[in-house]
Amino acid sequence: MTITIGARRLGLLLTVAAVLPVFVVAAPVGGAASSSNDAPVTVTDRIINGGDATIDQAPWQVALVSLQGGGPGSLPFCGGSLISPEWVLTAAHCFDPPTPPDLRVLSGEANLNNTFPEDFTEIAEVIVHPGWDGTLNSNENDITLVRLAAPIDVDASEADIVDLPWFENVVAWPGRGTTGLITGWGDTDPGGGSTPPAQLQWASVPILTSPTEQLCGRYGASFLAGAMLCAADLQQGIDSCQGDSGGPLVTDAGGIPTLAGVTSFGVGCANGIDPGVYARVTTYLTWIDVVTGLAPDDWTGSLRPTGPARLVEARQLRTTIDGQQAGIGRLAAGSVLEVDVAGRAGVDIDALGATLNVTVIGPERNGFATVFPCTSSPQPPGDRPGSSTINFAAGDVVANSVFVRLGVAGKVCVYVHRAADIVVDVTGFAPAGSTPIGIRPARLLETREGESAVDNVPATVGGVPITRGRIPAGTTVEVQVAGRAGIPLDARAAWVNAGVIQADGQGFATLFPCGANRPGSSTLNYAPSEVVANGALVQLGVGGTICVFANRTADVIIDVTAFVPNGSPINGLLPARLLESRPGEQTADGQQAGIGRLAAGSEVEIQVTGRAGVPASATAALVNVTAIRSALNGFITLFPCGITRPEASTLNYAVGDVVANGAFVELGPGGRLCLYTHREVDVALDVTGWAPA
């Protein structure tokens, strides 16, 4: 048997021979708990006040046992769930050293005193989630896959598999108040001193947290990390306990028993205050599929392109893709617009998030706009994150691209600081069970005095923490992303919004993964004293960081709105230039370089696949397009070649501007992307990532 352990942060897999020392009955504890009131607490491995269960009530329940020469009748040290004839899903902390010897999986039997040799299956490999590190003050990513040496014959035994929530909405399922079934052979005494039962126990418990909540009992948000759920009947004292670790929390999905959680930890057992905590299975579907290949053929773990299609048009006598939210009028200062996204323009009704291009037109004064998931309807203007998506000056026409999680009823909210017209286009969406995973926008870097970030983690230069203040010209700043704002330590990439504030000269900023050479491309461009922002998908570098380079002294802000988990099919790239119209400037491979200023009303086809690391199988790309010094106000539209140009804009520019915007764009036949410009202008286009079919 081998145990495969993920190297934390870098997401590398290291396969090592299993060292199997002395057996322990209770699974070891993964980390120490924190609490919201700083009260001392003791974490137990996580049924109290349950009843005897038969195997047909939970045929997916398995036990991890160490035979240690004892044969049938050996006590389990953890539980697990059979998710296929060859795979078991359990908790990562069950395999923290010292690992019990001579491991087996017991299946198809509810009574430990009624087992036979054929009920035990050898283990071929243990694959611990790469983000698990039980030495940290965290229990995040407490999930593991066990591959069996031989498949269990579910037709000839009492065992059966449990469904996984491939098609459930990960921001809605399972909801608060949903009833879950927990099973296991763990301790039946809240004090943890009883003899573990020979008969499988079961209990019905309510789920106490929705997928968007990160607080329950005395557990802090950083402890739960957004990838876990809480469940227990606190009034009746029904809870999981020692020895139940790794076991299932199963609930209903369309009338089918479906695995919602993996038993992880708790503060005591059934203490009336702190419920049991479970790893949320929907968070890990992409990783499970990457390791096992179990996902259905029609499941996608990736963004799906759509449009671009207009969802909101505030200006009179203009329309949207379906006539909804058209001509709604100028938004008042300090107001919130609720944008219906789900169920429009090809976006699934149960979509999790969307890539949007938001344009502010002719604001009355300098200000900002924030795009975020609606938490209620109507949405109070004061209930919004402390971040900005677009910064604008009086009279501007300025756009920015953002990935945002869909909120209540599939809506996103747009807050405007000053009165302005608003346009919203959709370019893609994340279907149920997919990635990236949207979060509440959070500020990771803020250099201005008197302003705050989501936490106190400092940025660094050359590994040395820096204090507040403007970033000197030519400096590269390292920003820690992984492990903050609910982003897991093994995240592969993040969708960020970068803002440059009142630079001392005209220049540019580039975002790239730390540890890589800075690419010859830009993420955003700015003029002196401007406040400019742009959104981008950025691959995470060494230690889960991104690097920010600015060639002029300026204040800089970085907000994060989503992340790409380890194992996701979405691939971030080192930014690479694919199109450069200016003579003497280069692209990554010399193709489409120096092609000359684009004429007004013209279209150019850009080959994307087969260049800069984008494979021929890619069906969509994440790009950054820059318009350079047009003589007239205008716009650029990106769209898949082979279709009629849509009535939408990717980027708006004013006379003399150097302005950029990010976009998620479907590719046309042959992996080509089409670019239309309204006015004569120089254009540069960089690719930052791609998505498969």
The Cα 155–Cα 70 span in angstroms is 28
pLDDT in the model for residue 160 = 96
In this prediction, the residues of the chain whose per-residue pLDDT falls under 50 are 1-46, 69-73, 222, 225
Span 360-389, pLDDT tens digits: 999 999 999 999 999 888 998 888 888 888
pLDDT in the model for residue 18 = 24
Backbone dihedral angles phi then psi of residue 677, each to the nearest 5 degrees: -120, 135
The Cα 244–Cα 44 span in angstroms is 10
The Cα 421–Cα 103 span in angstroms is 65
DSSP-derived letter for residue 110 is S
The Cα 90–Cα 78 span in angstroms is 8
User: What domains lie within the chain, and their CATH numbers?
Assistant: 2-26+41-292 (2.40.10.10), 300-434 (2.60.120), 436-566 (2.60.120), 569-693 (2.60.120)
The Cα 522–Cα 542 span in angstroms is 21
Q: Taken in order 512, 514, 519, 522, is the CA torsion positive or negative?
A: positive
pLDDT in the model for residue 268 = 56
The one-letter code for the residue type at 89 is L
Which residues are registered as beta bridge partners of 196? none
pLDDT in the model for residue 190 = 55
Question: What residues act catalytically?
Answer: 93, 142, 245
pLDDT in the model for residue 241 = 56
**pTM for the full predicted model:** 0.58
Query: What are the C-alpha distances in Å from 634 to residues 252, 423, 427, 543, 623?
Result: 52, 15, 20, 41, 20
DSSP-derived letter for residue 467 is -
pLDDT in the model for residue 174 = 85
DSSP-derived letter for residue 289 is H
pLDDT in the model for residue 68 = 64
pLDDT in the model for residue 73 = 46
pLDDT in the model for residue 70 = 46
pLDDT in the model for residue 74 = 58
Contacts of 346 (CB under 8 A, 6+ apart): 306, 307, 309, 429
Q: Provide DSSP, 319-383.
A: --SSSTTBS--PBPTTEEEEEE-TTSTT--TT--EEEEEEEEES-SSSEEEEEEE--SSSPPTTS
Residue 256 corresponds to which tokens in the numbers above?
A: 């089918």
The Cα 94–Cα 126 span in angstroms is 11
The Cα 656–Cα 156 span in angstroms is 75
